[in-house]
Amino acid sequence: MTETPKPPINIMELFQTQEIVKICAPMVRYSKLQFRNLVKSYKCDLCYTPMILADSFCKSHKARNNEFTTNLNDLPLIAQFAANTVHDFVGAAYLVSPFCNGVDLNCGCPQRWAKQQGLGCIMLEKPELIYDLVRQCRNSVAKPFTVSVKMRLKKELRKSVEVCQQLEKCGVSFLAMHGRTPDQLTGDVNTQALAQIVDSVQIPVVANGGVKSLKECVDLQEITKCKGVMVANGLLTNPTLFTGTATTTTDCIQRWLNICYNTTLDSKDIYKTPTIQEKPSNLTFQCFHHHLVFMLEKILSKQEKRIFNNLQNFGDVILFIKEKFGVVPQLFDNDEFEQTRILDLDYANRGDVYLDLKPDGAMDRGADFLYDYSSEGKYFKNKVQDDCDWSDIFLENG
């Protein structure tokens, strides 16, 4: 049975009614459905999907199944796409529009592979292309569905301001600004530049970069007058950050186990014992374990981290958590199970927009070109090293 979640939330109303809109950033490998459900439990107002390659999403059913999953607890949600053609971006936005509340164009990813393919921050060198993608997407998908752009600062602040003002004229709903240039991978964010951009446009601006606590969210808003604050690394280390806690709580660990276990199940009929299956469907060990590595970073001793970070299977992780924190996965009741059950999405006939917009003979990569999630990722590898530099760098967050 195919299903369509009802997206009743107008994201623009969040900016009007919330004192500060608290947002989970798009993170390769990490801002997947289960983690989005987790942070939504702790006062996160809005989540992004990881960056999705729009052309693969349009052409490949496999890509859609791998890159975008959702449930009734997932809204409000923005799907972020990497694209550099109208048919890819508009086509992807139209495909996903029944299942989320907005789309975002990634113009900030600084990874080399993205730049080589003309995606991410390299798009800032072709602002007219960004304008065209936003304008045509805005004209193709009706409001209240939002069309936003996440970008980094250009070296010349004047040019950043010009791009933002022009995007406002093109109908962009809001902007998410990372307070560093593509060449600045570490260090303080440029709050003065963010403040000037906020002052230069009438649409909401979300500030992003280097935030590690709720106080820092509030401070960043006070300095820049932004309407929202987007957090990446800080939420990985502490998913309860937006509640004001300093470290991950035991309740959060319990919640993570429950979400991971329950969202792998297809029916309440197969509930047997409250333990993680050896190879649960719909969940990778990498997703389950990596998040716990980040979450326990400030809680475990150095020796405990050395042991836990190198565990290799679900059973050993569950045993460690049980012995250390006294918690094990618990079953959801029927109502909560229905809210977290992964939905079977129906994209039938929604690919026509992509096909109609695609020029004859347009070059593209293979239909099943997917982002490689199989490797551990540089950021995770740094985390499991002893005495590593835990700076706020997150190369995978555009």
Top-confidence residue, 305 or 266? 305
Digit-coded pLDDT (tens) for 22-42: 999 999 889 999 999 999 999
Q: Which residue has the higher pLDDT, 279 or 189?
A: 189
pLDDT at 95: 97
Catalytic residues: 109
pLDDT, tens digit (0-9, with 9 covering 90-100), for 325-371: 999 998 888 888 889 989 999 998 899 999 999 998 676 555 445 55
Give the global pTM. Answer: 0.91
| pLDDT surpasses 80 at 311 | yes
CA angle 309, 315, 316 (to 5 degrees): 35
Whether the link from the prior residue into 280 is cis, omega within 30° of 0, is no
How confident is the model over 54-82, as pLDDT tens digits? 999 999 999 999 999 999 999 999 999 99
pLDDT per residue over 315-336, tens digit each? 999 999 999 999 999 888 888 8
Q: What percent of the chain has pLDDT over 70?
A: 84
pLDDT for the residue 338: 87
